[in-house]
Structure 1
């Protein structure tokens, strides 16, 4: 049971604090003056288009890349000044992880434990506990190259967390996994969070992130375009999605014209048979939207408020960011 493990932390409410972080590849600024905090005990979904700087940001946080400018603190440790100490407090899984194919699961976990500085008399129990957490207890003496892809992924995660880090950083952990294996990972991450661990997960599989994430961090072209809590009272108060279905095909141009006079109402997605609106949380806003559509002669067959999921939120954020970029 993962809940039996409790992860040692310092008292600060934010486990990660980043200020004015910039990183440059030759001729390209991959990260541009980023500043944000990560709440202790949270699961942050890091999302953005390819090339946005997600992997670079994670590697800087894990003390594997040296930033051009700015400061990173992880669990009270200055990453730039105390990289080795930072490594003891962080578990990191790259999107291109590696395993020793000729070693057994037990040997892989043992090697990871010793390399992270665990005392020899604590290694055996750490290996057994980690294998249990990852449902690999029956595979401890199996050579790693014979494992399934999902089992190999869990083993790689086990190597990253065997030293009970304060922060677990995962770059595309579900890439290439089948739906069942992705569900198992989502369950594991929820259990780790319940046990007190903080996670930052970068993934393009937004439906999977939606299962366990508590916070959303969106970056585009090396800049933050959104950083907020998910499903909190304050987040719910900011926006409500309303799904509307049409009994007959409707032109999106006509829908846009009808809602134009309504303050705070935005047409997020539309097709000939349905539309998705973003409206203020007050009931009167939904009433005004429905009245405008019906009085405008549109054949409304269904009108249903819906909570914004991660996929919808990401599309809305990127659409807004792209529009602002085009205007500059």
Structure 2
């Protein structure tokens, strides 16, 4: 089923949608799945796009933990970073399990107290905002 909606009601549709199709000036701008193409426990396809994960860190009151964490995440695309530890850090990680395992091992070796790492579904509103931001950045680069 296809629905054409205004961006202000995206949060209401989030539970029902599986894909997002963006149209701008009468042209298809993007068409993407909102959740992983593979189910839990199934291997990711080679070359698949990074997936959104939540990283929970035991934000203890140790000296320099936040600085070490920021340093460890420099090469990772972070979507949401909460230094209070009340919300998980949302970040984009490789779809391949072995690449994620290697990344996680490096984080632990850097002394980061990892409490949990799990996949999360990107909200429709966040996907729309990310697509719009990428479009605006591309327009500015072309100017």
Normalized against structure 1, the TM-score is what?
Answer: 0.32
- Matched residues in 1 for 2:72 and 2:28: separation? 33
Point out which structure has higher relative CO (alpha carbons under 8 A, 6+ apart).
Answer: 2
1:277 Cα deviation after fit:
1.0
Higher helix share: 1
Give the aligned partner of residue 287 of structure 1: 101
Residue pairs, 1:71-150, within 5 angstroms: none
Give the aligned partner of residue 41 of structure 2: none
Given the alignment of the two structures, is residue 300 of structure 1 paired with residue 143 of structure 2, yes or no? no
- Matched residues in 2 for 1:219 and 1:254: separation? 41
- Max radius of gyration: which structure? 1
Instruction: Give the one of 80, 83, 91 matched to 1:269.
Output: 80
| Structure 1 alignment gaps of length 5 or more | 1-41, 44-198
1:231 Cα deviation after fit:
4.1
Given the alignment of the two structures, is residue 206 of structure 1 paired with residue 10 of structure 2, yes or no? yes
Q: Secondary structure at the match of 2:4?
A: strand
CA-based RMSD of the aligned residues comes to 3.3
Distance 1:246 1:225, change over 3 A: farther
Q: Secondary structure at the match of 1:244?
A: strand
Contact residue 268 and residue 316 of structure 1 kept, 8 A: no
Q: Secondary structure at the match of 1:211?
A: coil
- Matched residues in 2 for 1:219 and 1:322: separation? 14
1:282 Cα deviation after fit:
0.9
1:312 Cα deviation after fit:
3.1
